[in-house]
Amino acid sequence: MKIHCFILMLILFSKIGLCQNDSFEITITNIRNSTGTIKWAVFKNESQFKTNTQYVDAGSVQATTGCVKIITKNIADGNYAISVYHDENNNSEIDFNFFGLPIEGFGFSNDPVIYFGPPSFKECVIEKNGKTSKSIKIKYYL
């Protein structure tokens, strides 16, 4: 009898949301080849986003032509910005040509239009509420 009550309580608690999933599911699309890695970072505020030195979560996965899916862990609900880039030569930085244009692909949450330099945190901010899924399209200039 006690076991049945315990199982019933587990089922009930999971149905009403007490077992919360605090992840971002990020689908990165438009990857041109499977060379190198896709690197990503999740930022909580403007200063972290601008300096690219602190982040809430970050990592890398093997690049796959087309798209890859990333699932973060243990991120509280709130507002965040996500940046990604395709590190084709695995040197852990975005490479630029002589004119200052990136030669590796990059992207940001909300897929903002890029003019001269990176977008602002405000342009990229997305709200996370429980398990949240977002898609980011990699852009290549060269």
Q: What is the pLDDT of residues 51-91, one digit of tens each?
A: 887 899 999 999 999 999 999 888 999 999 999 999 999 99
Confidence of residue 5 (pLDDT cuts 50, 70, 90): very low
Distances 72 to 9, 27, 38, 58, 123 between C-alpha atoms, Å: 28, 11, 14, 8, 21
Query: How many domains is the chain partitioned into structurally?
Result: 1
Q: Residue 107: pLDDT above 90?
A: yes
- Is residue 15 situated within a structural domain? no
Distances 89 to 85, 103, 104 between C-alpha atoms, Å: 12, 11, 9
CATH (domain of 84): 2.60.40
- In terms of pLDDT, which residue wins out, 8 or 141? 141
Span 100-106, average pLDDT: 93
List the one residue out of 54, 38, 51 whose CA is nearest residue 136: 38
> pTM (2 decimals)?
0.81
pLDDT of residue 21: 59
Q: Which domain holds residue 101?
A: 21-137
In the block, which residue shows the tokens 């970050």?
A: 58
- Is residue 123 situated within a structural domain? yes
